[in-house]
Structure 1
Amino acid sequence: MAEHLLEVRNLSVEFHTAMGVVKAVRSISYHLGRGETLAILGESGSGKSVSSSAIMNLIDMPPGRISSGEILLNGADLLKMPAHERRKINGSRIAMIFQDPLSHLNPVYTVGWQIREALTTHGADAAKAQSEALRLIARVGVPHPERALDKYPHEFSGGQRQRVMIAMALALRPDLLIADEPTTALDVTVQAEVLALLKELQEETGMAVMIITHDLGVVAEIADRVVVMEKGELVETGTVREVYHNPQHPYTKRLIAAAPGKGEMHAPQGFGEPVLRVRDVRKHYGAFEALKGVSFDLMPGETMAVVGESGSGKSTLARILLRLDEADSGSALWKGRDLFTLSPGELYKLRRDLQMVFQDPTQSLNPRMTVFQLISEAWIIHPDILPKAKWRERVAELLVQVGLGPEHMGRYPHQFSGGQRQRIAIARALALEPQLIICDEAVSALDVSVQAQVIALLDRLRREMGIAFIFIAHDLPVVRDFANHVMVMQQGNVVEMGTVSEIFDTPREDYTRALLAAGLDPDPDIQAANRAARLRQVS
């Protein structure tokens, strides 16, 4: 038997594009033992997802090409196996769960059918597949498992869809589970539940886990060892404690230094009259009451963070404030004018002052427009902002501000990673020089160093230009670093509101304390202590 379950040796992957050859992975080597959890840590473009796709044979070839290396599973080189043997291994020996389960679950089939398909494809009969699908959906904690099997993917929350993906991945009891950013878009409490579930299932089955992430907190919570990648190269490896407390490579040191939640908290500004007064806003969708009387004030140049789990009403509030949905009752006074009663013409003139950065840039960016067209479109709609001769220069400036470059303005959204697409969306919002930006999970998909860069940019804009922010987020350390005030929401209600120091240092409500306790600290020693404290509370 091979010494390691998985061994990657001198793997190189390149892509042939119209702009030339892109070397995505450059001669990397690492190994993974049975029952071990290895984290592949790096930013967008580091090659971490490409290397895992090579293991699963998911790279499109062409334009991709594995130019060198070996991928050994129990000593057998996967790259030398014929296609039919490789297909037998995928699912049965190696399984994968993805960052966005909605994109990887078939929308026209029930989740029960999709789990059963994974089993019947590998030889299980219909009765066995049905009983095993029911056992799996119950084991991963999806409520009402019998009914859940007959539901479609869109009928589940994000966290439940991720649990369904885990059930599918574990259907054939693989030796290795690859998890590619499995918790990036999840609420903090759901993230903790999914990571705990992965750990429990690993202990039950003895499988090895490879988790691909840009989140140091996830690494501290679940991993035994970590591999750090930058620009396709492996720059550092070691145990989680070794790499965090004694990093050797400058890139690793920058990643750790950029981890949020360690800086000074922002004090309230409190100058002048509020620019936005929201009073008793309510919204129903049929019998469901999404907002139950939300009220708050926003001062000029301040950030109001809105936190809470999925279904708490955060995004509904954002859409209503921008009149993308209509409130049932209540008022929102922007500099004394009620946004809810403005005519379409009045609202059109006000749009340049109120901008939004949406959670999913794939949905909010037109796939047929280049980056230059996406950003400069704002000046077509509002031509008095900037003369056309200066558009290219200003687009280049905005791209540099959000961590991209002028060379990116001719590309299309699909040519970027998820984090890069979100940077483009932020640049587009800044193009109109607004006075209020509503950020709906705007930095949740960004790498830790780019996240820090974008937060620093937004903070500078707040200080220099007096821009106010409504900052919807599930990443509490980022909220701690950026916000002046925090509003905690649960099931349409505001359960607590206060300054950032009041919420983080002396929370009054049990729900707020539960949210804070579920957060992940990048320091493995602190996270281990937090985990032990949670276990003591449960016992």
Structure 2
Amino acid sequence: MASSHLLEVRNLSVRFHTARGTVDAVNDVSWHLDRGETLAILGESGSGKSVSASAIMNLIDCPPGEIVSGEVLFEGRDLLTLSNEERRRINGKRIAMIFQDPLSHLNPVYPVGWQIAEAAMCHGTGKDEAFARALKLMERVGIPDATAALKKYPHQFSGGQRQRLMIAMALALKPDILIADEPTTALDVTVQAEVLSLLEELQAETGMGLLLITHDLGVVAEAADRAVVMEGGRIVETGTPRDLYHNAKHPYTQKLLAAAPGKGEMRTGESARQPILKVSGLTKTYGAFTALKNADFELHAGETLAVVGESGSGKSTVAKLILRLEEASGGKVLWKGEDLLTKSHRQMRAVRRHLQMVFQDPTQSLNPHMSIYQIISEAWVIHPEILPKAQWRDRVNELLQQVGLKPEHAARHPHQFSGGQRQRIAIARALALEPEVIICDEAVSALDVSIQAQVIALLGELRDRLGIAFIFIAHDLPVVRDFADRVLVMQRGEIVEQGTVRQIFENPQELYTQRLLAAGLDPDPDVQAEHRKARLALQGAEPQRA
């Protein structure tokens, strides 16, 4: 049973017993992690990567889960044979974990300082010492004004700050192993780079082993020493990031690499068409806070205008003001020459059929109590002039096929689909009203790389075939590079730069834009090494703007 590695998984198999039958989630998986090493487990949703980590932490509910076979050796001891009391001495103290969605894993009714200190107190640390350690950890992970922040609640922090708080909590007892399950998914590119850099610094200080679970090839290129590629519960390939990128053997690894965005031909960004949407001086204030200041831009028929920037830059505010989901404080939004901001709510109802939106999380934007047929046909209940009821069934079937689904899917409910399929349903719902503009607010940010590629290809095909224009709000710069015609760069409520995709990506003028591009993650380890150099070189640079 002895192992020379800090952590070793041997022949692990996990299955789940469901109403639809038995699912083999992990099948005969073996890998190891050494002290001071970063091992990435790479794969898409359903590949078994998170289940493997849950088995290590004893977080699999049995039943319905069942660990069929295997060993998980930590310093030579099989964790699967330990009692619950013995596991409690190890979990948190020796092996810690940070999760993908920190807001779901931080208790909303307790101050964050208490939650970090509690992790230490549960393992015998005195209260005063635990709070002193919590303060030091919050300072170490870069929380501003940590003394005051100790008393704040999770909702008072940004997404990146909440992830830093989760890291502080996990490190409260200086663990030997840190398991990070998709720690940067849906974070801004700059925050993502900061979180990965922080994990690397902390690892260098403590010598801990880092197990990084991800679907992002760029994260692997930036942070991993070795990678394990999983598909359908099995390991299909292992190697260094450079070996996997330049010499992938398995078709699944090759498919992941081929789906990675940012490598295709850039669009010209030139349009001879007249603008259908013209925004000028658009402003939004909340009391003394200005969320958007004097935004000016145009959208032409059949083009994709990407809006990029960090959280809080005003990207989503622009979308909400255009659609009148919030009221602007000033400016104009001219739709074919008519100012939308002066229209009544009744008049806006007629306009909205031409301006549709696809949201970031289809799980929340699709009604779980409605069938797919009801979700899509609801558009015609609100706008009955579009289509006679006798034609609804045929049109729903047509729309489902248009987004790559099947007519028989109309009878199902949202929970019966994957994340990528739910996003396709959201796109079909938007298409039901035959819009001229679709606003996509981070519509692909949380999807697996191959599903993301499929959705982007679908949107591109709809743009080219139907002439739909897109306002594409995103923080994923490689996707923007492949999909957009023109790009707006936003910072703190202002548009700091705009131009064709080629101008922005090949010759950015503003320091902020340069920093955004340097923070992007590339699946090629050699290119990513250049990004890292550029990021470090720009850290001390002075902004060019006042």
Shorter-chain TM-score bucket reads over 0.9
**Percent same amino acid at aligned positions?**
70
Q: Output the amino acid matched with 1:348.
A: R
8 Å CA contact retained: 1:419, 1:445: no
The alpha-carbon distance between structure 1 residues 371 and 111, as it changes in their structure 2 partners (threshold 3 A), is farther
- The structural deviation recorded for 1:399 is 5.2
Distance 1:84 1:25 in 2: 26
Q: Output the amino acid matched with 1:11.
A: L
Distance 2:426 2:54 in 1: 27
Q: Output the amino acid matched with 1:61.
A: C
Q: With structure 2 as the length reference, what TM-score do the two structures score?
A: 0.93
Counterpart of 1:117 in structure 2 is 118
Counterpart of 1:359 in structure 2 is 360
Counterpart of 2:498 in structure 1 is 497
Counterpart of 2:297 in structure 1 is 296
Counterpart of 1:282 in structure 2 is 283
8 Å CA contact retained: 2:519, 2:532: no
1:462-508, CA deviations, whole angstroms, 9 ceiling, x for partnerless residues?
11101001111111111110111100111111101111111111111
Distance 2:511 2:325 in 1: 33
Q: Secondary structure at the match of 1:292?
A: strand
Counterpart of 2:184 in structure 1 is 183
Q: Output the amino acid matched with 2:359.
A: F
The alpha-carbon distance between structure 1 residues 232 and 6, as it changes in their structure 2 partners (threshold 3 A), is same
Counterpart of 1:258 in structure 2 is 259
Q: Output the amino acid matched with 2:361.
A: D
Distance 1:441 1:378 in 2: 22
Counterpart of 2:162 in structure 1 is 161
- The structural deviation recorded for 1:77 is 1.8
- The structural deviation recorded for 1:272 is 2.7
Q: Select between 266-275 and 435-444 the one with higher mean Cα deviation.
A: 266-275
- The structural deviation recorded for 1:390 is 6.3
- Aligned residue runs from structure 1 range 186-335, under 5 A: 186-335=187-336
Distance 1:403 1:7 in 2: 41
Counterpart of 1:488 in structure 2 is 489
Q: Select between 48-57 and 392-401 the one with higher mean Cα deviation.
A: 392-401
Q: Secondary structure at the match of 2:91?
A: helix
The alpha-carbon distance between structure 1 residues 51 and 379, as it changes in their structure 2 partners (threshold 3 A), is farther
8 Å CA contact retained: 1:271, 1:300: no
The alpha-carbon distance between structure 1 residues 106 and 402, as it changes in their structure 2 partners (threshold 3 A), is farther
Counterpart of 1:457 in structure 2 is 458
8 Å CA contact retained: 1:269, 1:299: no
Distance 1:234 1:396 in 2: 38
Distance 2:110 2:279 in 1: 42
- The structural deviation recorded for 1:246 is 0.3
Q: Secondary structure at the match of 2:107?
A: coil
1:340-364, CA deviations, whole angstroms, 9 ceiling, x for partnerless residues?
1222222222222211112233432
1:438-464, CA deviations, whole angstroms, 9 ceiling, x for partnerless residues?
111111111111111111111111111
8 Å CA contact retained: 1:25, 1:51: yes
8 Å CA contact retained: 1:422, 1:445: no
Distance 1:442 1:302 in 2: 17
1:26-75, CA deviations, whole angstroms, 9 ceiling, x for partnerless residues?
22222111111111111122121222122222222222222222222222
- The structural deviation recorded for 1:369 is 3.3
| Residue correspondences, number | 539
Q: Secondary structure at the match of 1:520?
A: coil
Distance 1:402 1:7 in 2: 43
8 Å CA contact retained: 2:275, 2:300: yes
Distance 2:120 2:447 in 1: 35
- Aligned residue runs from structure 1 range 97-116, under 5 A: 97-116=98-117
8 Å CA contact retained: 2:354, 2:436: yes
1:196-232, CA deviations, whole angstroms, 9 ceiling, x for partnerless residues?
0000001101111111111111110000111111122
Distance 1:351 1:464 in 2: 21
- Aligned residue runs from structure 1 range 9-24, under 5 A: 9-24=10-25
Q: Select between 427-436 and 331-340 the one with higher mean Cα deviation.
A: 427-436
8 Å CA contact retained: 1:403, 1:453: no
Distance 1:66 1:408 in 2: 33
Q: Secondary structure at the match of 2:36?
A: coil
Q: Secondary structure at the match of 1:91?
A: coil
The alignment's C-alpha RMSD in Å is 2.1
Q: Does 1:64 align with 2:69?
A: no
Q: Select between 357-366 and 211-220 the one with higher mean Cα deviation.
A: 357-366
1:208-260, CA deviations, whole angstroms, 9 ceiling, x for partnerless residues?
11111111111100001111111222111111111111000111111111111
Distance 1:451 1:235 in 2: 22
Q: Select between 119-128 and 66-75 the one with higher mean Cα deviation.
A: 66-75
- The structural deviation recorded for 1:15 is 2.3
Unmatched tracts of structure 2, length 5 or more:
541-546
Q: Select between 511-520 and 76-85 the one with higher mean Cα deviation.
A: 76-85
8 Å CA contact retained: 1:37, 1:223: yes
Q: Output the amino acid matched with 1:99.
A: Q
The alpha-carbon distance between structure 1 residues 4 and 427, as it changes in their structure 2 partners (threshold 3 A), is farther
Q: Output the amino acid matched with 1:282.
A: T
Counterpart of 1:347 in structure 2 is 348
- The structural deviation recorded for 1:536 is 5.2
Q: Output the amino acid matched with 2:29.
A: I
1:101-132, CA deviations, whole angstroms, 9 ceiling, x for partnerless residues?
11111111110111111111111111011100
Q: Select between 73-82 and 418-427 the one with higher mean Cα deviation.
A: 418-427
Q: Output the amino acid matched with 2:185.
A: T
